[in-house]
Amino acid sequence: MTKQIIFTIALLITIGAFSYTINRIIGFFKLTRPAFPVKDFGKRINLMLTIAFGQTKIFRRPIIGFIHALVFWGFCVIIFGSIEMVIDGLTGSDRFLQFLGPVYNIIMATGDVFALLVAIAIIIFLSRRLFFHIKRFEGVEMKKITHIDANIALSIILILMISLLTMNIGYSEYKTLMGEGVVGLYPVSIFLAGFFIRGSAESFRLMYEVSWWIHILLIFVFANLLPYSKHFHVFLSVPNVFLSRLDPLGKLLNMDSITREVKLMLDPNTAFTASTTEAPVERFGVKDAEDASWKNYFDSLSCTQCGRCTSVCPANITGKKLSPRKIMMDLRARMKEKGPLMVKNGRDFNDNRSLLRDFISEEELWACTTCNACAKECPININQPTLIVDMRRYLVMEEASAPGELKAVFNNIENNGAPWQYSAEDRLLWTKDLEINVRIVQPFV
C-alpha cells in the first residue's frame, strides 16, 4: 500500500509538472500564425507509418540511421512495459498485462532484447559525441550547453536501459529461485544473469525492486526534462511528421494578404467596396518569433539538432554562415525568450530584440539557394526553406532591404518583364535564322 501511495504521489507530481510545461508551450503556439489546414488524414497516416515508424528518411545515412532506428523501434516496444509499470504502481497489481498471454511473452521478450540493443546504440552515440570528431555535431550554433544537453539525455536513456535489464534479471532470477513461475520471457536478461554471482533470492528481489523504482522514476524525470531539451523530439517527431506540409518541396505557400493588396492595385475600383473594418494588416513575412507559423514553431521544437540539414546545405558546405539547423534552433530560442513576455504583456510586446538580426543575420538568409537539400534530408520532415523565404519576405517587403543586385532584378522584372535588362521586343531573337517556323500564339477569333 505504501508503495502505491508513493507511486501515486510521484505520478501526480510528474503529470502536474508536465501539464504546466505543455500548457506554457500551448500558450506560445497561440502567438504564432496560421500555416496550412491539416487535411488528408490518409496521406498523413501513411507518412507517419513510413517516415516516422519506418524511419525511412533517417536511412538516408544507412549505418548510423539503422542504429537510430533500433533505438526508435526499441522505444516503441519498451513503452508497453512502462505502461504496465504505471498500472502496477497505481493498482498494486503484478504484471497487469500478463492476461495478454503469448502476446505478452512476445512484448516482454522483444523489449528485453531491445533494452540491450538500445543500450549498445546509446553507447555508440555517446562515444561519437565524446571521443570522435564528427563534423555534423559542430558549428557556431553548437554551444557547450547543447552538447551537455545531448549527453545528459543519452546518459539517462542508457541508465533507463540498464535498469530495465537489471530489473528483468532480478525478477526472473528471484522467481526462479523461489520456484515460482516467471511471467513473460526475458532471453537477454537470463543470458546476462549467467554472468552474475549467484545471490540469494532476497538479493535478487532487492535488485528487482530498486531497478523498478530507478527505471520508473527516471522515466518521470526524463519526461519532464524533455520539453526543455533537444530531446523533445522523443515526443514531437512522430506528430511533426504527421503534421508535415504535404505539398511538393518546391512549392512556397501563397501570401493571401499580398493577393488582396495586388488585386486592389490592379483593380482600384474594388478599393471603394473594400471594408475598412478589416482586421489590422499583419506584418508581411517573418521578423520575430510570433510572425512564424505554428508549423515553423513545431518544427523548431521537434528539431533534435542532428545537423543532417546543415551537412548537406550547399551554402554551409562552402563556408557560408547559413546553417539550416541554426535557423530552427534560433526560432526555438527566441520563442523561449520572448514567448513568456508576450504571454504576459500581449502579442505586441516589444523587447527591442528580434529573431531577425539578434539571432539570424541577413547574411545567413541571403546565402540560401532554396535548393531544399535540408528539408529533403530532415528525418522528421522539418521545412527550413519556407522560414528562410518568409524572413526574406519581411526584409524585402517591410524594409525594402535586399542585396543591390537583387533590387536590380526586381526593377528589371517590373520594368521589362525579365530579371535581366533586356527588352520584351527581343524575346524572339532565338528564332532568328532557325530552319523551322515557330508559331506564335495570337487571339483566336
Partner 1 sequence: MADLFSKGENPEYLFWVGCAGAFDDRYKKVVRAFAKILTHLEVSYAVLGKEETCTGDPARRAGNEMLYQMQALQVIEIFKMYEVKKIITICPHCFNILKNEYPDLGGKYEVINYLQFLNKKIEEGKLIIDSASLKNISVTYHDPCYLGRANDIYDEPRSILKKLTGNLVEMHRNKSFALCCGAGGGQMFKEAEKGDKEIFIERTEDALKTEAKVIATACPFCMTMLTDGLKYKNKEEEIKNLDIAELIAQSLEL
C-beta of residue 356 within 8 angstroms of C-beta of residue 327: no
Q: Distance between CA atoms of 49 and 238, rounded to whole angstroms? A: 9
x/- track of binding to partner 1 for residues 409-428 (CB under 8 A):
xx--xx--xxxx-x-xxxxx
Closest CA to 196 of 213, 214, 177, 215: 177
The least distance separating partner 1 from the CB of residue 68, rounded to whole angstroms, comes to: 18
Does 19 engage in binding with partner 1 (CB under 8 A)? no
Would you state the cell numbers that stand for residue 148, as one nine-digit string?
Answer: 551537455
Closest CA to 383 of 249, 293, 237, 236: 249
Q: Distance between CA atoms of 310 and 362, rounded to whole angstroms? A: 18
Residues 42-61 that bind partner 1 (CB under 8 A): 60
Q: Distance between CA atoms of 159 and 211, rounded to whole angstroms? A: 10
Does 402 engage in binding with partner 1 (CB under 8 A)? yes
Does 62 engage in binding with partner 1 (CB under 8 A)? no
Would you state the cell numbers that stand for residue 29, as one nine-digit string?
Answer: 503556439
Residues 253-292 that bind partner 1 (CB under 8 A): 253-255, 258-259, 261-263, 265-266, 284-285
The least distance separating partner 1 from the CB of residue 372, rounded to whole angstroms, comes to: 5
The least distance separating partner 1 from the CB of residue 126, rounded to whole angstroms, comes to: 28
Question: 3-class SS at 284?
Answer: coil
In this complex, which beta carbon is closest to partner 1, that of residue 94 or of residue 425? 425
In this complex, which beta carbon is closest to partner 1, that of residue 134 or of residue 258? 258
Does 129 engage in binding with partner 1 (CB under 8 A)? no
In this complex, which beta carbon is closest to partner 1, that of residue 26 or of residue 436? 436
Window contacting partner 1 (CB under 8 A); options: 38-46, 87-95, 336-344, 393-401: 393-401
In this complex, which beta carbon is closest to partner 1, that of residue 128 or of residue 260? 260
In this complex, which beta carbon is closest to partner 1, that of residue 71 or of residue 312? 312
C-alpha of 291 from chain center = 19
Structural element, H or E, at residue 421: none
In this complex, which beta carbon is closest to partner 1, that of residue 108 or of residue 373? 373
Among 251, 347, 353, 357, binds partner 1 (CB under 8 A): 251
In this complex, which beta carbon is closest to partner 1, that of residue 250 or of residue 268? 250
In this complex, which beta carbon is closest to partner 1, that of residue 94 or of residue 405? 405
Window contacting partner 1 (CB under 8 A); options: 117-125, 201-209, 226-234, 408-416: 408-416
Does 338 engage in binding with partner 1 (CB under 8 A)? no
Residues 349-388 that bind partner 1 (CB under 8 A): 363, 366-373, 375-376
Residues 298-327 that bind partner 1 (CB under 8 A): 312, 314-315, 317-322
Does 221 engage in binding with partner 1 (CB under 8 A)? no
Sequence-distant (6+) residues with CB within 8 A of 157 are: 71, 118, 122, 222
Window contacting partner 1 (CB under 8 A); options: 35-43, 158-166, 171-179, 245-253: 245-253
Look at the alpha carbons of 100, 102, 105, 109 in this order and tell me if their dihedral is positive or negative: negative
C-beta of residue 294 within 8 angstroms of C-beta of residue 240: no
Window contacting partner 1 (CB under 8 A); options: 35-43, 122-130, 342-350, 405-413: 405-413
What's phi and psi for 293, nearest 5 deg? Answer: -85, 165
Question: 3-class SS at 360?
Answer: strand
The least distance separating partner 1 from the CB of residue 326, rounded to whole angstroms, comes to: 14
- Binding footprint of partner 1, residue count (CB under 8 A): 80
Residues for the chain: how many in total? 445
In this complex, which beta carbon is closest to partner 1, that of residue 156 or of residue 374? 374
DSSP string over 20-34: HHHHHHHHHHTTSBP
Would you state the cell numbers that stand for residue 302, as one nine-digit string?
Answer: 521537434
Eight-class DSSP state of 52: I
CA dihedral 161, 164, 166, 168 (to 10 degrees): -140
C-beta of residue 184 within 8 angstroms of C-beta of residue 105: yes
Residues 169-208 that bind partner 1 (CB under 8 A): none
C-beta of residue 390 within 8 angstroms of C-beta of residue 285: yes
In this complex, which beta carbon is closest to partner 1, that of residue 42 or of residue 404? 404
In this complex, which beta carbon is closest to partner 1, that of residue 285 or of residue 339? 285
